[in-house]
Amino acid sequence: MAWTTQYIAEVIGTMILILLGDGVVANVVLNKTKGNNSGWIVITTGWGLAVFVAVFVTGAVSGAHINPAVTFGLAVAGLFPAAQVIPFWIAQVVGAFIGAILVWLTYYKHWEGTDPDGQLACFSTGPAIRSYGWNFVTEVVGTWMLMFGVLRIVGGFDLLGSLGALTVGFLVWGIGLSLGGPTGYAINPARDLGPRIAHQILPLPGKGPSDWGYSWVPVIAPLVGAALAAAMWRWIIPWG
């Protein structure tokens, strides 16, 4: 029963993350919204706040991983049971999918008249310059920074759910501002995959392709970045 509650919390937490995170992208990108063209600083701030709210709401129940890369990194670091990794991943992707559906409903009247690339950007990430190798490197570096910061917060302070939630939100805000330009900083496989599936199946007017050719980058690279951070934490730096 305790595990079931954790899985439900991961669904809810990741749903909140995507509702507020993809929601701010939709507000900035879609035509005729109040926030149209308000810029990158609004998007990165909105994502940081989305992380804060999601972690604050569910941190006390599941630890608020809300990210398969974080779940994987914690398992590599020996801080999370391996048996729960796959169920957490499933819960996170489901939550992200639901969150994307809610964004679609919220902005229902604004999809028409927005170009296909703009529509897709409200669901999933894409590179500013398409170079799969370097896009992969960017996502590895960004997720390494995320995971290393999360490990410090969890290992050093154990405040997730209160002050730690705000700290993680600031961490993601900083990553977006500093490292988000090349790829849109997915740094979270569920954040990209769940909404991309939603984009694939939703009846968006004038919809273009879901860019599945790029989709492996924001799924695989964050797992690599998180594993590298966890390995450094566990075996190289004596903080853990």
- The 10s digit of each residue's pLDDT in 63-75 is 889 999 999 999 9
The enclosing domain of 91 has a CATH number of: 1.20.1080.10
- Into how many domains does the chain fold? 1
Question: What percentage of the chain exceeds 90 in pLDDT?
Answer: 82
Which DSSP letter does residue 65 get? -
Q: In Å, what is the CA distance from 82 to each residue of 73, 148, 191, 212?
A: 11, 19, 21, 29
The label of the residue with tokens 């769940």 reads: 194
CB burial class (10 A; 0-12, 13-18, 19+) of residue 152? Answer: middle
Q: Whole-angstrom distance between the N-terminal and C-terminal Cα of the chain?
A: 30
Classified as helix, coil or strand, 25 is helix
DSSP H stretches of helix in 30-128: 40-62, 68-76, 85-106, 116-121
Q: Which structural domain range is residue 141 located in?
A: 2-236
The pLDDT tens digits along the chain (240 residues) read 466 899 999 999 999 999 999 999 999 999 999 999 999 999 999 999 999 999 999 988 888 899 999 999 999 998 899 999 999 999 999 999 999 999 999 999 999 989 999 999 999 999 999 999 999 999 999 999 999 999 888 765 444 445 678 889 999 999 999 999 999 999 999 999 999 999 999 999 999 999 999 999 999 999 999 999 999 988 776 654
Cα 135 to the center of its chain, rounded Å: 16
